[in-house]
Amino acid sequence: MSRKPLSEGSEWTFPLIERYDREIARIAVEFGLDTYPNQIEVISSEQMMDAYSSVGMPVNYHHWSFGKHFLSIEQRYKRGQMGLAYEIVINSNPCIAYLMEENTMTMQALVLAHAAYGHNSFFKNNYLFRTWTNADAIIDYLIFAKNYIADCEQRYGELEVELILDSCHALMNYGVDRYKRPPRLSAREEKERQKAREEYLQSQINDLWRTLPVKPKARDDKKQERFPPEPQENLLYFIEKNAPLLEPWQREIVRIVRKIAQYFYPQRQTQVMNEGWATFWHYTILNRLYDEGLVTDGFMLEFLQTHTNVIYQPPYDSPHYTGINPYALGFAMMRDIRRICERPTEEDRRWFSDIAGSDWRQTLDFAMRNFKDESFIAQYLSPRLIRQMRLFAVLDDDRKRKLEVTAIHDDAGYRHVRQALADHYNLGSTEPDIQVYDVNIRGDRSLTLRHTQYHRRPLHKSVDEVLKHLARLWGFTVRLESVDEKGRVQRTYECKV
Amino acid sequence: MVPAGTQVLLTARVVTRIIDRRLNGKNKSAVNRRRFLRRFKAQIKKAVAESVSERSITDIDSGEQINIPARDISEPVFRHGPGGEREYVHPGNTDFVAGDKIRRPPAGGGSGGRRASNQGEGEDDFVFNLTREEFLEFFFDDLALPDLVKTQLAASVDFQKIRAGYTRDGVPANINVIRSLRGALARRIALRGPHLARLREAQAEVDALLREGRDDEIARQRAAQLEEEIRELRRRIKAIPFLDTFDLRYNHRVNVPKPTTQAVMFCLMDVSGSMDETRKDIAKRFFILLYLFLTRNYERIEVVYIRHHTTAKEVDEEEFFHSRETGGTVVSSALELMYDIIQQRYPTCDWNIYAAQASDGDNWNDDSPRCRELLIDKIMPLLQYYAYVEVTPDEHQRLWHEYLAVKEVCPHFAMQRIDGLEDIYPVFRELFRKQES
């Protein structure tokens, strides 16, 4: 079927973007992609840098760290060390995607397919996003947060607010519930309830620190009750609810940072999948456009060149090597799953008996909905792809003088390589496991955290700085015990107040 | 939130909105940028100070690339340090097999070892650009300049009157005759128009009455009525003034900031052994400040560097600040050389001449009176301003006392002892006061 191409040159116009969007949407629907409505915003490169530096959010509160981020991006962009990301897409409903005005029509179409249909459908359907984020309310919540923090700055001074934010940012990665689903955000309720919460919380805190003598009965208990009774993984939540000296507005700021951290938590766990999914779909959709005769050869050449750059994976001994490229790995895996469905080999049938020969659309859709990077790789990385990428695992044990190659792309090594790679993306192993362990509520009110070591890995020396931040929030001495796998305390860090 | 130009369109199933946001402001990060600069003021100031000592004087008036150590501004988080057991997966294996032992690559070495992280343990500098305004702000910060002076230095102050069209009011000397008369003509035509039209009609009616030759009461009355109206119209037309104050137009002139003419700045410095790097650095700041002041006021500035010990020599900036010599000090040699250069190259009718001298106050004793004579008799009459700074914590020597005598005679001679950077400004106070008046 040969039709007239949608456009010939590289210039884009609004009507052209509309026509491309209509065609891409049609194909996306044919493939069964389920998306939020799109809101496509055309912006300039300066605006892109702005968006980039406030972690991609259209509104955010003010903080110097965003300024730092902006300066470094601006510097690198101006010197041509990096191109700007072609796209930023926001997990919201409607899904907001930015197009840069400097891009050619080909790039705009690529971004449309990648962000507005690829990422968009991932945001809408992946279980982590469905569980942990609320796309309908995030923009509203950010506006609430921005106004609230601006208000605090007026009342209590920029510096005061900055100190709290600095400390919260240092603990941001420990401000998420990993296992418990948070209640949904709602900006309006948030604002209405904020005041009530403020008063209630303060009264609760005071109760915890009541100075009245304890009833004699309690003293008879052989075992003193520990507080908290169970270790707590969400440090910021614990501080918000229990730090003795924080003012109500400071608690609210802790809460804001915590909520935003929670919003980004799924993104940190689905990078490979999310990028792989979006890349797979822009590739598939644009190729379909080409097959239908809607785009020219020139369009395809430009697209393929960009696409190839995006999914390039330098080998380990290349000077450009900076680790595994999530676009490359994700795209290769998505394509590989389709291949296993459509043209399974004998080996695939042995390894993936459940999906070999099945309908690729349904299989991919299932994978996209129900996995995160770690489990996705553990489930779907095929021996064939391990061979293709020539993956090998290296063990670095500081007790041994040399590194050891533990597995390569051969029969004996597939499972090991796959497990080791999956482990790369397990936040539980890449981030130190640190939990609130004990508070000395009858004595000096000091807070004790426990770091449970993973494969004997010690903490980075930045731990002292982070403890200072924690102590600022807690208001009393903070201690951190590093515990090895047998439960023995190996090392103690302390920040006295 | 949705600006004009929003286009909404329907696709097969979902609604896509395309919005042109390019018209929205682009400096959304300006606040965050300012906060970053405020937060790391100390580090940036240090970097600015370093860059000033490396920068050429004439190059001071631009933005700057700033490096600060990344660890100073890092945002700490809990993470793993080196050590323990860790297993990595890498792509692109060529010839390893399971069980191979590899020598541990040096810490931080990229390939084969740990994954290079983009915010990891490297001691790389954080690099960014300051704008010219931001740079000058940091530069001025040490010098204890009053705000007024800062604004003067950071902006151009001289004005020139240029023609800018016409205005309705002004002084009689500025009346523009052609414009005024053209306006008057237009007004007369406009005001006369309706009367003339009516006049012609009335006249035509009178003529018609006369032609018909009717001689009854009604016709006579009508004719008289018309005659009356014609008279009234003629009177009105005549009453329209030839020139009204309303018509007057004056040539309009506005003040436009403009650097005036050209200036030459002489930098004189003692480079005998006692002037060490710190003293030279203070001297350099002093020269920079004078230079900045001059750039605000003059279109073209030349800088002449003269250094001296027992003899004086004209040199380039590099040599001026960075080479050292030992030996005695004869200040008059530099003054003489300056005088010669002025005579040869910078006639006072074409050039505004400024001079700045930095020294530690050492001079060969018999030479000091000679310096005074040279200055009072020959040099000061040629100069706009002469600033002398003595960079020394010690007792004043004879040169200082001789210069005090110069100061009494010449109001445009300024002198100051400088211990630290904040002492520089008083030297300029006189200069700026002159500028304001």
**Cα(B94)–Cα(A317) distance, integer angstroms:** 10
Interface-testing mutation among A318, A387, A392, A456, with chain B (most B C-beta atoms within 10 A): A392
**Cα(B132)–Cα(B225) distance, integer angstroms:** 81
- SS3 of residue B329 by DSSP: coil
Residue-wise DSSP of B81-96: -S-SEEEEEES---S-
Q: Residue B171's closest CA among B58, B249, B272?
A: B249
Q: Between chains, do B16 and A43 touch, taking CB under 8 Å as contact? A: no
State the pLDDT at residue B13. Answer: 47
Report whether pLDDT(A199) > 60.
yes
E-state strands within B277-394: 300-308, 312-315, 352-359, 385-391
Report whether pLDDT(B123) > 80.
no
DSSP state letter for B315: E
Q: What is the CA radius of gyration of chain B?
A: 39
Q: How far is B368 from chain A (nearest CA, A)?
A: 53
State the pLDDT at residue A116. Answer: 93
- SS3 of residue B284 by DSSP: helix
- How much is the ipTM here? 0.83
**Residue A77 forms contact with B (CB below 8 Å):** no
Q: Residue A437's closest CA among A450, A455, A456?
A: A450
Q: Between chains, do A391 and B96 touch, taking CB under 8 Å as contact? A: no
CB-nearest to B77 from A50, A322, A466 is A466
CB-nearest to A170 from B14, B75, B115 is B75
pLDDT single digits (tens) A463-478:
999 999 999 999 999 9
**Cα(A116)–Cα(A112) distance, integer angstroms:** 5
Q: Between chains, do B21 and A21 touch, taking CB under 8 Å as contact? A: no
Contacts of A321 in chain B (CB under 8 A): 90, 92, 110-111, 116
Contacts of A67 in chain B (CB under 8 A): 29, 31-37
Q: How far is A63 from chain B (nearest CA, A)?
A: 6
Nearest chain A residue to B130, by CA: A71
CB-nearest to A408 from B36, B85, B98 is B98
For the ranges A84-88, B98-102, B202-206, which has the lowest average pLDDT? A84-88
Q: Between chains, do A396 and B29 touch, taking CB under 8 Å as contact? A: no
Q: Between chains, do B111 and A319 touch, taking CB under 8 Å as contact? A: yes
Which of residues A209 and A320 earns the better pLDDT score?
A: A320
Q: Does residue A58 have a cis bond before it (omega within 30 degrees)?
A: no
State the pLDDT at residue A405. Answer: 94
Q: At what angle do helices A360-370 and A373-380 cross, to 10 degrees?
A: 140
Residue with tokens 């910078």: B346
Interface-testing mutation among B89, B114, B121, with chain A (most A C-beta atoms within 10 A): B89
Contact B350, B262 (CB under 8 A): yes
Give the confidence band of B260 by pLDDT, cuts at 50, 70, 90: low
Q: What is the mean pLDDT of chain B?
A: 78
Distance of CA A429 to the CA centre of its chain: 15
Q: Does residue A315 have a cis bond before it (omega within 30 degrees)?
A: no
Q: Per-residue pLDDT averaged across B308-312, rounded?
A: 84
Sign of CA pseudo-dihedral A380, A382, A386, A388: negative
Contact A107, A306 (CB under 8 A): yes
13-32 of A, contacting B, C-beta below 8 A: 14, 17-18, 21-22, 25-26, 29
Cβ-count burial of B256 within 10 angstroms (0-12 exposed, 13-18 middle, 19+ buried)? exposed
Structure tokens at B363: 């001079």
Give the confidence band of A218 by pLDDT, cuts at 50, 70, 90: very low
* Cα dihedral A200/A203/A209/A212 (nearest 10): -140
- What is the identity of the amino acid at A1? M
Q: Between chains, do A389 and B16 touch, taking CB under 8 Å as contact? A: no
For the ranges B112-116, B285-289, B395-399, which has the lowest average pLDDT? B112-116
State the pLDDT at residue B433. Answer: 58
Contacts of A422 in chain B (CB under 8 A): none
CB-nearest to A40 from B18, B28, B34 is B18
CB-nearest to A403 from B102, B116, B121 is B102
Sorted by sequence, the CB contacts under 8 Å of residue A302 that are 6+ apart come out as A10, A104, A106, A107
Backbone torsions φ then ψ of B19, nearest 5 degrees: -125, 135
Highest mean pLDDT among A47-51, B75-79, B318-322 belongs to B75-79
Structure tokens at A78: 């101006």
The count of other CB atoms within 10 Å of the CB of residue A452 is: 16
pLDDT single digits (tens) A394-445:
999 888 888 999 999 999 999 999 999 999 898 878 899 999 999 988 888 9
Q: Where are the alpha helices (DSSP H) in B213-312?
A: 217-239, 277-297
Contacts of B79 in chain A (CB under 8 A): 431-432, 459-460, 462
Q: How far is A68 from chain B (nearest CA, A)?
A: 6
Which of residues A177 and A416 earns the better pLDDT score?
A: A416
Report whether pLDDT(A270) > 90.
yes
Q: Residue B153's closest CA among B298, B292, B58?
A: B292
Nearest chain A residue to B92, by CA: A315
Interchain CB contacts (distance < 8 Å): A and B: 298
Beta bridge mates, A38: A95, B16
Residue with tokens 């009264």: A203
Contact A86, A103 (CB under 8 A): yes
Q: Per-residue pLDDT averaged across B127-141, rounded?
A: 78
E-state strands within A444-495: 447-452, 478-483, 489-495
Residue A357 parent element (H or E):
none
State the pLDDT at residue B330. Answer: 85
Structure tokens at B110: 């990229």
Report whether pLDDT(B107) > 60.
no
Q: Per-residue pLDDT averaged across B339-356, rounded?
A: 84
What Cα–Cα distance (Å) separates residue B31 from each residue in A68, B36, B51, B74, B410? Answer: 11, 9, 25, 20, 49
Report whether pLDDT(B118) > 50.
no
Residue with tokens 């309310």: A137
Contacts of A47 in chain B (CB under 8 A): 21-22, 24, 26, 28
**Cα(A394)–Cα(A406) distance, integer angstroms:** 6
Contacts of B116 in chain A (CB under 8 A): 321-323
**Cα(B192)–Cα(B233) distance, integer angstroms:** 10
Q: What is the mean pLDDT of chain A?
A: 87
∠ Cα A195 A197 A202 (to 5°): 105
pLDDT single digits (tens) A131-152:
888 888 888 999 999 999 999 9
Which of residues B13 and A328 earns the better pLDDT score?
A: A328
Structure tokens at A267: 């993104």
Q: Between chains, do B81 and A47 touch, taking CB under 8 Å as contact? A: no
Report whether pLDDT(A227) > 70.
yes
Q: How far is A392 from chain B (nearest CA, A)?
A: 5
Structure tokens at A355: 């999906």
Q: Residue A106's closest CA among A381, A328, A295?
A: A295
